[in-house]
């Protein structure tokens, strides 16, 4: 079972007060800490687990700047066997559709049975690249996958639906699955582990080697562009609900109602 897993390097923004940069279209990256996209981490772990159980090879692939090497090395340390990194400044400004095109071009030269990606990326949150890639490659797919069971020539999966429901499907290989967080418990990747793969080869590609022309990627090759970004309006601290017990309870009911709880 040969598996390709697509990963992305994203900033960790959970605690950060993000700033809009001077273009107005992206955030200031200075001082931000980057790492592998959380969903992709589950995908890599799942790929490695499948390999450990069924044999085969795991190839990690990423599209991004030279710094993306850190996440690809991390994937190698976690257990991926090979790594491909597509780096080309001309791909900057690509939307999900254009990125999927780059990935599709890169994947054409790699044999695979299944492709795993994260459901979405922490940064743009599009949940679009994986499924688009499947379409470009002409293979079936399933999103929000919470369980994978490898069978002969097909894969039995569970995918998460709303309201605590799941559905079970069988999909013939080759196929692509976007992995939901919580599908497994990703193992820890130690510094020693990363040091051990420091010398491992990472294959690098650019648009030229992939046979893509500049107008197929970047803003020109994209369907959407981010025109501007802006922080959502925020309030500070708790709004204290005061009054008699009954009044307070009534106010809480309003909150419940607004939150769609009752």
Partner 1 sequence: MAEILVLTEHRQGEMQEISLEMLAKGQQLAEQTKKELTAVLLGKGVASMADEVKRYCHHILVMEDDLLANFNSEPYQDVLSFLIKERKPSLVLMGHTAFGMDLAPPLATAAGIPLATDCYEIEVKGDAVIPYRQMYGGKMCAEVHFKEAPCHMITVRAGSFPAEGLKEINGAVEQVSFQFDKDYAYKKFLQYVEAAVGDVDITQADVLVAVGRGIGDSENLPMVEELAKLLGGVVACSRPVADKHWLPKERQVGTSGKTVKPKLYIAFGISGAFQHLAGMKNAATIIAVNKDPKAPIFSVAHYGIVDDLMKVVPSLVAKVRERKGA
Partner 2 sequence: MDFLEKHELYACLQCGKCTGGCPVSLRAPLNIRSLMREVLMGGSPEVALDCPGLWDCTTCAICTLRCPRGLKPSEVIVGLRAELVEGGRVPKTIIDALEGTFKHGNPWGRARQKRIEWKGDTAVKTLSDEGEAEWLYFIGCAPSYDPRLQRIPRILCRILETAGIDFGSLGTKESCCGNEIRRMGETGLFEELREENTKNFNASGVKAILTTSPHCFNTFSTEYDLDGFKVLHYTQLLADLIKEGEITFSKEVNKKVVYHDPCFLGKQHEIFDPPREILKAIPGLELLEFDRCRERSLCCEGGGGRMWAEGAGEGERNSEVRVKDAHAMGAEIIATACPFCLLTLEDGAKTTGLEEEMPIREILELVAEAMGFDDV
Q: Which of residues 171-190 bind partner 2 (CB under 8 A)?
A: 185-190
Which of 52, 167, 208, 214 lies at the binding interface for partner 1 (CB under 8 A)?
Answer: 167
# binding residues, partner 2 (CB under 8 A):
19
Q: Which is nearer to partner 1, 31 or 232 (CB)?
A: 232
In angstroms, rounded to a whole number, what is the distance separating the alpha carbons of residues 48 and 231? 38
In angstroms, rounded to a whole number, what is the distance separating the alpha carbons of residues 175 and 142? 8
In angstroms, rounded to a whole number, what is the distance separating the alpha carbons of residues 10 and 5? 16
Residue 187: contacted member of partner 1, partner 2, none (CB under 5 to 8 Å, by partner type): partner 2
Residue 195: contacted member of partner 1, partner 2, none (CB under 5 to 8 Å, by partner type): partner 2
Least Å from the CB of residue 188 to partner 2: 5
DSSP track, 100-125: HHHHHHHHTTS--SEEEEESS-TTT-
Q: 191 Cβ partners below 8 Å, 6+ apart?
A: none
First to last CA, the chain: 47
In angstroms, rounded to a whole number, what is the distance separating the alpha carbons of residues 244 and 202? 66
Decide the pairing of beta strands 33-36 and 9-12. Answer: antiparallel
Determine, following the binding rule CB under 8 A, whether residue 49 of this chain makes contact with partner 2. no
Binding residues among 232-261 for partner 1 as defined by CB under 8 A:
232, 235, 237-241, 245-246, 248-253, 255-256, 258-261
Which of 56, 124, 187, 193 lies at the binding interface for partner 1 (CB under 8 A)?
Answer: 124
Site string for partner 1, 4-43 (x = CB under 8 A): -------x-xx-x-x-x------x----------------
Which of 3, 83, 131, 197 lies at the binding interface for partner 1 (CB under 8 A)?
Answer: 131
Determine, following the binding rule CB under 8 A, whether residue 33 of this chain makes contact with partner 2. yes
What is the CA angle 86-89-94, rounded to 5? 80
In angstroms, rounded to a whole number, what is the distance separating the alpha carbons of residues 79 and 155? 21
User: What does the binding site for partner 2 look like in residue numbers (CB under 8 A)?
Assistant: 12, 14-16, 31, 33, 35, 78, 185-195
């Amino acid at each position: 079972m040969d598996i390709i897993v697509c990963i992305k390097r994203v900033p960790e923004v959970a605690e950060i007060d993000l700033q809009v940069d001077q273009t107005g279209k992206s955030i200031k990256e200075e001082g931000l800490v980057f790492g592998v996209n959380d969903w992709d981490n589950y995908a890599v772990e799942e790929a490695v687990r499948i390999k450990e159980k069924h044999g085969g090879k795991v190839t990690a692939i990423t599209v991004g700047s030279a710094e993306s090497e850190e996440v690809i090395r991390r994937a190698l340390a976690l257990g991926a066997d090979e790594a491909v990194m597509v780096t080309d400044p001309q791909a900057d400004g690509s939307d999900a559709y254009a990125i999927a095109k780059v990935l599709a071009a890169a994947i054409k030269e790699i044999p695979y049975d299944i492709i795993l990606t994260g459901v979405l990326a922490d940064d743009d949150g599009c949940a679009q690249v994986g499924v688009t890639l499947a379409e470009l490659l002409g293979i079936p797919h399933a999103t929000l996958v919470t369980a994978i069971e490898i069978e002969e020539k097909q894969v039995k999966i569970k995918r998460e639906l709303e309201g605590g429901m799941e559905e079970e499907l069988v999909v013939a290989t080759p196929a692509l699955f976007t992995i939901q967080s919580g599908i497994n418990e990703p193992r820890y990747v130690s510094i020693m582990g990363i040091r051990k793969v420091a010398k491992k080869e990472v294959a690098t590609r650019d648009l030229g080697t992939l046979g893509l022309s500049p107008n197929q990627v970047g803003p020109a090759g994209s369907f959407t562009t981010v025109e501007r970004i802006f922080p959502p309006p925020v309030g500070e601290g708790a709004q204290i609900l005061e009054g008699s017990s009954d009044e307070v309870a009534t106010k809480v009911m309003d909150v419940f109602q607004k939150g769609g709880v009752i």
